[in-house]
Structure 1
Amino acid sequence: MSRSIDYGNLMHEAMRGLIRKVLQDISDNGLPGNHHFFITFDTSHPDAELADWLSDRYPGEMTVVMQHWYDGLDVTPDGFAITLNFGDAPEPLYIPYDAIRTFVDPSVEFGLRFEQQESEEEDDDSEENTLDQTDEDELEVAEEPSKDAEIVSLDSFRK
């Protein structure tokens, strides 16, 4: 019986651990300086929790922005809970780490992308949906994160 080292899954586990540590620091100490996060996640993940109107509006994925206003950040070993303001409506979310597709901090040009196991055709057909929660009382579409951010791709680790 031959065995091999699964570098792709080990890297994903390490990257999710980094996100958990960053969020735990934010929970303990707040967001420093200009740091803010664009977090894209799979809204259909079985453990993701979000309001029905959000999952109906964004059935595949959604990008939230953690910046000006957020509340109740609770970091757990498997994911995090947070309340964000969507157009004058505070909404609680629970995002499992394994539902995260991208994590970007444009203030320092840092980003992580988790490659999906699905076919590339399905990826090309998916529509990126971005919601910007801000301290304003209106629903806004966020601008794309800086394209200069360093994205770590795991394709080179896959067989």
Structure 2
Amino acid sequence: MTEDNKPVESLLPYDRWTEDAMREVALQALDYAGAHGLPGEHHFYLTFRTDHPGISIPSHLKARYPEEMTIVLQHQFWDLKVDRARGLISAGLSFGGVPATLVIPISALTAFWDPYVRVGLRFPSAEAATVPTSEAEEASAVSAAEQTPDTEPAAAAAAVVEEGPAQVVSLDAFRRRPARDGGA
């Protein structure tokens, strides 16, 4: 291999600028949802580092997900706010029927996903902030299940994913399906 084929190292931080621009797309979507609600079938999966400085989540969630957690913003969330000046995202969610407010530093976000339109963004700088020490300690996911009086306890419990490799959880299996009228 000759030196002519060697990649040129940029003196401009294109990687950081690209990640900042992608992060802004996620923040604009969250801003919109906080101000207007989620339109149509849009919903968001937010993955973030729970070991990031400035994170504020209930202690039982921090104990269960010591490094990374994924939440779903879909039907039952409240007070979703993006505070760019303070660098924070906050939202109210229920976990096992218990309401909680999560405060997440924007820099703690590792991924944003809107499965309705298949838009997904990863933020490598937050992922690289700390390195997992074992597979058992790798990213876990928690889903804020749709909580209604009709929700069966088993469905709500199944919405919380046990520790394991990072994953996106589909709640479709737990949704009530309308009764069919005879035919196929």
Q: TM-score of the superposition, structure 1-length normalised?
A: 0.80
**Matching residue of 2:96:** 87
- Does 2:70 match 1:63? yes
Post-superposition Cα deviations, 1:87-145, rounded to whole Å, max 9, x if no partner, equal 110110011111011100111111001123368x7488353311111232634236726
Q: Is residue 33 of structure 1 aligned with residue 57 of structure 2?
A: no
Selected match of 1:132 from 135, 143, 148: 143
How big is the alpha-carbon RMSD for the aligned residues of Structure 1 and Structure 2? 2.4
Aligned length, in residue pairs: 144
Runs of 4+ in 1 over 6 A off after TM superposition: none
SS at match of 1:98: helix
- Give 5+ residue unaligned stretches, structure 1: 147-159
Q: Percent identity?
A: 34
| Code of the aligned partner of 2:160 | V
Between the two structures, name the one with larger relative contact order (CA 8 Å, sep ≥ 6).
1
| Residues 1:102 and 2:111 aligned together | yes
Partner residue of 1:141 out of 160, 168, 174: 160
Assess if the C-alpha contact under 8 Å between 1:104 and 1:145 holds in 2: no
Could you say what secondary structure the match of 2:17 adopts?
helix
CA distance 1:15–1:100, change in 2 (3 Å): same
Partner of 1:12: 19
TM-score calculated relative to the size of structure 2: 0.70
**Looking at CA atoms only, which structure, 1 or 2, has the larger radius of gyration?**
2
